[in-house]
Structure 1
Amino acid sequence: MGFSFLSYDGICDGVALVVCPLLGDSGLGIEPKCYSRNVEINSTLIFQPATCFIHIAALVMTAIMVYHIRSKYTAVGRKEIVLFFYLYAVSEMLAIFLDSAIIPTYSPVYSVFTAIYVGLGTSIFWCLLINGFVGFQFAEDGTPKSLWFLRISSFVLFALGFLVAFATFKGAAGMSPTKTQGLWIVQLLFPAVCVVIYVVSQVVLVLRTLDDRWPLGDITFGVLAFVAACVLMFGFSTQICVAVKHYIDGTFFGVLCLLFSVMMIYKYWDSITKEDLEFSVGSKAAVWDVKDPLLGPGDVDVMGPGSISTHESAFAAPPPLGGGGRMGSPGAPSGRLAPGKSGMGYPPQPSSY
């Protein structure tokens, strides 16, 4: 069965999406032609085991990216972009339970959690879209106006996606498991439109406001990864599954490529945002490491017992003529006290020779 616009029949026939067990007119969902093997752990069947490992890896990578984002205290759009990664992490955590069928498809709560998952996907792409306009400074980033607009609008889109999905699963408000046009729009069409708008806005931002063109490479790799995820998941899932004898299917590569595209979003944001070091209070010690320009390449300026600070040495009396100055006594290593000295005499005293 081929791809059909506003219909899940052809999609669910090829790839095992979490919504597919709740759609169709048979009451048993739409089963794909080929899906990955199950494994049994403690008398519990785990579906899509390889895909679950990718979800776990996505959680780890998201935690790392959030840590680095939060460490850039003065970067533009820091608070806005971190919400996108929080929503993505929650979505990946929920996908572990849905893809693996830890929450059984026959359970009454499966439809509720699936609707939550669809709502999260809608809000994630909306949040990404709004973050695309933060760089244009229509509203000052980090202010309550910017943050609350993002949070409230993301919640509204989450509620919209949840209600459309739940009404489709339960056959309410003119929707049903066989009338999936609304669900198709919020789960598949809306995210694609958000990605297109986000990419166009970021290309315009880079070309008009930045001198560096390297961020365009991050955008390109992110777009290619997103396109590859869609093609492998919806176009070649059955062929992949048959070729590798049911060990993995298109869902595995789809989730993997989506993770890579999210990582490219972080890489792009990191490449276009610079931290104001004057107001930075991060843990990067090198930011505050001021080197003495008078020191030579082999000199060492170390604060320790019996030494004097660089600032104090600036006001110290100059060494007597012929005393060797900063170099110490003859034969002493550059920048260090001569052997036999007590270590309290900076500048070094003239040697007796």
Structure 2
Amino acid sequence: MAMPLCSLVGAATQEPQCYSRNIEIGGALIFEPPTLVIHLVALVMTAIMIFHIKAKYTAVGRKEIVVFFYLYAATTVLEFLVMSGIVPTASPAYPYFAAIHIGLGMATLWALFVNGFVPFQWIDDGTPMSLWTLRISALVVFLISLIVSIGTFQNLMGFSSGAPTFLWIWYFVFGGAFALIYIVCQIILVMSLEDRWPLADIGFGVFFFVAAQVLNFAVSPRICDLAKHYVDGTFFGTMATLLAVMMVYKYWDSITKEDLEFAVGGKSNNWEINDPLLGDSAMASVSKGAEYYDPSMQAGSSQRI
């Protein structure tokens, strides 16, 4: 597959078995153009999901889950740069961009892992302690990934680009473990709730996540050959990853409810008077919509009861 770090590791230069056709824009070759379109779609969809998350002002874990989506967006931007050829593989800066891409990807999975424990209220959500625990730990994971990646690419600190075993373990085994633990935590959480429908969101998310790995790493060359090099597995893998991330949002939205007492922009309250001292005739006249003036309200305003 066309994986950004593959040209930086191995005993010899690693190239994809098959990849989609390139296009030329302004004299520059742009690689994986169909996949880049999905990256742009992913950024737009992520912005929409972040907007809706922030609109749920009192939902549990609102501030924590939005960190995950910010990191996913940042990872998408870096992947766009290194996969498209905007940062050429021959550039001295390319290994550092690839390392930052790996670091952001691992930090994104770590943020998902931490969000798996937020609903259990191990720390009150939305508090500085909860947010800074997430941010600092994600930064630590990012720095570890950066050190391991750069060390491997540059043959530093005992790491070797010819035998990148630890990088693969860190990137795939630990990254997969973060996602798996998140899934298990959410299944345990849903089983403790009365509503079991969120299990469907988890199931679809797992399906799309697994499908992304299969499309990327197992059948990409086959897809590329069948599509006559117009698209490859990276295109469908990136799309499946986006759908998995969207299911994370859908699941979070399904298990959180807005406190209508503090909701903004909702419908106005419908007031009702139940006073036993008023007779039926008085209640009937009130129910027809008598208006009253409240001095605490702005001038000229009135409320109907």
TM-score, normalization by structure 1 = 0.77
Report if the CA contact (8 A) 2:10-2:164 is conserved.
Answer: no
Which has the higher relative contact order, 1 or 2, with Cα contacts under 8 A spaced 6 or more apart?
Answer: 2
> What SS is found at the alignment partner of 1:19?
helix
Residue matched to 2:195: 212
**CA displacement 1:246-301 (0-9 Å, x = unmatched):** 01111111110000000000000000011112233x2x232xx223669xxxxxxx
Deviations 1:148-192 (A, max 9, x none): 111110000000011101111001112121111121022211121
Per-residue deviation at 1:327? Answer: 11
Work out whether 1:290 is the aligned partner of 2:276.
no
> Which stretches in structure 2 are left out of the alignment for 5+ residues?
290-305
**CA deviations over 1:304-332 (Å, ceiling 9, x no partner):** xxxxxxxxxxx9xx68xxxx96999xxxx
**What SS is found at the alignment partner of 2:29?**
strand
Counterpart-to-counterpart distance in 2, 1:157 and 1:325 = 67
Paired position in structure 1 for 2:103: 119
One-letter identity of the residue aligned with 2:6:
C
Match of 1:101 among 77, 85, 89: 85
CA distance in 2, matches of 1:164, 1:244: 36
Residue aligned with 1:141, SS: coil
2:209 aligned to 219, 226, 250, which one?
226
1:306 aligns with: none
Secondary structure (helix, strand or coil) at the match of 1:108 reads coil
Correspondence 1:198 to 2:182: yes
User: Which position in structure 1 is the counterpart of 2:72?
Assistant: 88
Between the aligned partners of 1:274 and 1:285, the Cα distance in structure 2 is 14
Shift of 1:144: 1.3
2:160 aligned residue: 176
Residue 31 (1) aligns with residue 22 (2): no
Identical-pair percentage: 52
1:127 Cα offset (Å): 0.7
- 1:225 is paired with a residue whose SS is helix
Q: Secondary structure at the match of 1:54?
A: helix
In structure 1, stretches of 5+ residues that fail to align are: 1-14, 295-314, 329-334, 336-353
- Contact kept, 8 Å, 2:107 with 2:141, in 1: the verdict is yes
Residues 327 and 217 (structure 1 numbering): CA distance in 2 closer, same or farther, change over 3 Å? closer
In 2, Cα distance between equivalents of 1:186 and 1:61: 29
> Using the alignment, how far apart are the partners of 2:149 and 2:287 within structure 1?
77
Deviations 1:38-85 (A, max 9, x none): 000111100000000000000000000000111111110011000000
Structure 1 residue 105 displacement after superposition: 0.4
Deviation at residue 24 of structure 1 after TM alignment:
2.0
Which amino acid in 2 is paired with 1:161?
S
- Aligned-residue offset at 1:124: 0.6
Question: What RMSD in Å do the two structures reach over aligned CA positions?
Answer: 1.9
- Alpha-carbon distance in 2 for matches of 1:185, 1:56: 30
Structure number having the greater helix percentage: 2
Mapped partners of 1:84, 1:325: distance in 2: 55
Q: Where does residue 262 of structure 1 map in the other structure? A: 245
Distance 1:327 1:25, change over 3 A: closer
The answer to whether the 8 A contact 2:9-2:162 is kept is yes
For these two proteins, the number of residue pairs brought into alignment is: 283
**Aligned residue for 1:47?**
31
SS of residue matched to 2:157: coil
The equivalent residue for 2:113 is 129
Residue 56 of structure 1 corresponds to which residue in structure 2?
40
Alignment of 1:250 onto 2:229: no
Q: Residue 4 of structure 2 aligns with which residue?
A: 18
Give the secondary-structure state (helix, strand or coil) at the position aligned to 2:93: helix
**One of 187, 194, 205 as aligned partner of 2:171:** 187
Q: Which residue of 2 aligns with 1:305?
A: none
Give secondary structure in 1 for the equivalent of 2:4.
coil
State the Cα distance separating 1:106 from its structure 2 match.
Answer: 0.3
Q: Which runs of 4+ in 1 moved over 2 A?
A: 290-294, 324-328
Give the residue type in structure 1 aligned to 2:250.
K
Q: Secondary structure at the match of 1:172?
A: coil
- Deviations for 1:328-347, whole angstroms, at most 9, x for unmatched residues? 9xxxxxx8xxxxxxxxxxxx
